């Protein structure tokens, strides 16, 4: 079998990354903040929260879209598209890939959970105050969820497969899976894959508050997101974008690209259970993990690190602990380091999987496993090794990233440290 083939399929590697997160406006500063155990949470500045029950979130800090995007174009985009394109531009520069050489062989799969919430609110407010005749002609194309993917494709000139996953908090893991499949099947040689979300708006905060999904720790925002801790009371809303350049191995080698990691496998499943609550048995998310292991050609014993979905909700974190025991086997689950980086970034919804995939890649590449911050009180139902509070220097060749979304969407991606 050719070295460029694995299990009879084209091998796929990661050659570029880009991200904008509450911890930093690029991968290096974000990773530095994560490893240092810093929280991205603070008071909401995007709107007046006086009449709201929740006053804090994990916002971007000093983000300027015109760093990466023409000012006129940026005005035509909702924020979720602006940060997606910014992350894509970063990933393009990091990878050094030349899209213009063969644009039909370069595609994009860019996910979101909600889409243009800023534009939606502005459009509706304008409609109420000024009437339908004053609606912006850009309103719909700012709101619809596919436009982040469309802007990435248009601005980069990528004419290959184009997808826009909208599967809640599993969306960007599914985008990575779609990119992996597109390259394996020969439909593309390069795929820009990731996710984006800008939900810290009046509707976003009010809606998730009404669901009783958000933490109420207004007095201590930095300690509010506490995955797997017994005192967790909900997640902290985050905004972010993450983008990975996936590339066929020989295509990457031919141009001398640096390689971060290999994408080994991908698995998906549905709970078919509840609009928001996780499958209490854990069986269906565990099936997604098992599917990813089989696709990757590994056994649970090969897993060295898991970046958990771990949202800091009471039911979600205990359910995921059961998922890990089912998928890995109980003995292996207790022996495997697990962390939820949402303690630092908050829950970035449709962007979470992409951001956490990059964290997983950095963890296995650097031999540094990021911590689960704010872990103070063990929960008997959450009894695994969650790398509490401090990063751990530990070798892990294979890392797993989990994402589970409202409506029962489950996705798991497996990465292997690259060693030429």
Query: What DSSP letter does each residue of 302-321 carry, written as one string?
Result: G--EEE----S-HHHHHHHH
123 catalytically annotated: no
347 catalytically annotated: yes
The answer as to whether 261 is a domain residue is no
- Taking the model in full, what pTM does it have? 0.96
Give the range of the structural domain holding residue 53, as residue numbers without chain letter: 5-254
Q: Which of 312, 373, 385 is nearest to 347 (CA)?
A: 312
Instruction: Tell me: do 369 and 223 sit in the same domain.
Output: no
Q: What pLDDT shows up at residue 1? A: 39
Instruction: Tell me: do 54 and 95 sit in the same domain.
Output: yes
The answer as to whether 73 is a domain residue is yes
Instruction: Tell me: do 64 and 155 sit in the same domain.
Output: yes
Instruction: Tell me: do 49 and 191 sit in the same domain.
Output: yes
Instruction: Tell me: do 236 and 295 sit in the same domain.
Output: no
The answer as to whether 287 is a domain residue is yes
Mean pLDDT for back-to-back runs of 10 residues, the chain (420 residues): 69 98 98 98 98 98 96 95 98 98 98 97 92 91 97 98 97 98 98 98 97 97 98 98 98 98 97 84 95 98 98 96 98 98 98 98 98 98 98 98 94 95
58: domain CATH number is 3.40.47.10
Instruction: Tell me: do 183 and 331 sit in the same domain.
Output: no
CA terminus-to-terminus distance, the chain: 17
Instruction: Tell me: do 249 and 273 sit in the same domain.
Output: no
Token representation of residue 379 = 């929960």
Nearby residues of 169 by Cβ (< 8 Å), 6 or more positions away: 113, 309, 311, 347, 349, 350, 352, 353, 403, 404, 405, 406, 409
The answer as to whether 259 is a domain residue is no
Judge whether 400 and 303 are in contact, CB under 8 Å: yes
Judge whether 289 and 264 are in contact, CB under 8 Å: no
Which residue among the candidates 58, 251, 347, 409 is catalytic per the annotation? 347
Q: Which of 403, 229, 391 is nearest to 323 (CA)?
A: 403
Instruction: Tell me: do 367 and 315 sit in the same domain.
Output: yes
Instruction: Tell me: do 117 and 216 sit in the same domain.
Output: yes
Nearby residues of 156 by Cβ (< 8 Å), 6 or more positions away: 88, 89, 92, 99, 106, 108, 192
Q: Which of 189, 220, 254 is the last residue of a domain?
A: 254
Token representation of residue 235 = 């997640």
309 catalytically annotated: yes
Judge whether 327 and 320 are in contact, CB under 8 Å: no
Nearby residues of 314 by Cβ (< 8 Å), 6 or more positions away: 232, 233, 234
Q: Using CB atoms within 10 A of its CB, is residue 129 exposed (0-12), middle (13-18) or buried (19+)?
A: exposed
Q: Which of 24, 45, 26, 25 is nearest to 36 (CA)?
A: 24
Total of domains in the chain: 2
Rg of the chain (C-alpha set): 20
Q: What pLDDT shows up at residue 277? A: 80
Which residue among the candidates 166, 169, 193, 348 is catalytic per the annotation? 169
Which residue among the candidates 58, 166, 251, 309 is catalytic per the annotation? 309
Q: Which of 254, 282, 315 is the last residue of a domain?
A: 254
Instruction: Tell me: do 193 and 309 sit in the same domain.
Output: no
Q: Which of 207, 229, 254 is the last residue of a domain?
A: 254
**Cα gap 383→280, rounded to integer Å:** 17
Residue 131: how many other CB atoms lie within 10 Å:
9
**Cα gap 323→321, rounded to integer Å:** 5
């Amino acid at each position: 079998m050719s070295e460029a083939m694995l299990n009879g399929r084209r091998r796929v590697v990661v050659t570029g990354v880009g991200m904008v997160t509450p911890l930093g406006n690029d991968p290096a500063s974000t990773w530095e903040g994560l490893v240092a155990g810093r929280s991205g949470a603070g008071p909401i500045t995007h709107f007046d929260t006086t009449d709201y029950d929740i006053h804090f979130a994990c916002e971007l800090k000093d983000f300027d879209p015109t760093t990466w995007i023409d000012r006129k174009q940026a005005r035509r985009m909702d924020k979720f598209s602006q940060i997606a394109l910014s992350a894509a531009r970063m990933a393009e520069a990091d990878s050094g890939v030349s899209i213009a050489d063969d644009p039909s062989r370069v595609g994009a799969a860019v996910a979101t959970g909600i889409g243009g919430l800023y534009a939606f609110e502005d459009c509706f407010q304008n409609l109420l105050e000024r009437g339908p005749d004053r609606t912006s002609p850009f309103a719909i194309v700012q709101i619809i969820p596919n436009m982040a993917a469309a802007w990435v494709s248009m601005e980069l000139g990528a004419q290959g497969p184009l997808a826009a996953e909208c599967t809640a908090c599993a969306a960007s893991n599914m985008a990575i899976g779609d990119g992996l499949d597109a390259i394996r099947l020969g439909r593309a040689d390069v795929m820009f894959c990731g996710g984006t979300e800008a939900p810290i708006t009046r509707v976003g905060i009010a809606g998730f508050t009404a669901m009783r999904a958000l933490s109420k720790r207004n007095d201590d925002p930095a300690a509010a997101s506490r995955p797997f801790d017994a005192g967790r009371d909900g997640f902290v809303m985050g905004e972010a974008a993450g983008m990975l350049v996936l590339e066929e191995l020989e295509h990457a080698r031919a141009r001398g690209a640096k390689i971060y990691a290999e994408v080994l496998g991908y698995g998906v499943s549905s709970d078919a259970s509840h609009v928001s609550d996780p499958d209490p048995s854990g069986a269906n998310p565990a099936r997604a993990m098992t599917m990813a292991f089989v696709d990757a050609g590994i056994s649970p014993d090969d897993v060295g690190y898991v970046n958990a979905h771990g949202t800091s909700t009471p039911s979600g974190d205990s359910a995921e602990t059961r998922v890990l025991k089912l998928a890995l086997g109980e003995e292996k689950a207790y022996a495997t380091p697990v962390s939820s980086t949402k303690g630092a970034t908050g829950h970035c919804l449709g962007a979470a999987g992409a951001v956490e995939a990059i964290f997983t890649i950095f963890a296995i590449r650097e031999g540094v496993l990021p911590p689960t911050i704010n872990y103070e009180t063990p929960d008997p139902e959450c009894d695994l090794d969650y790398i509490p509070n401090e990063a751990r220097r530990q070798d892990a060749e294979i890392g797993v990233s989990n994402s589970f979304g409202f409506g029962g969407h489950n996705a798991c991606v497996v990465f292997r440290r690259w060693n030429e």
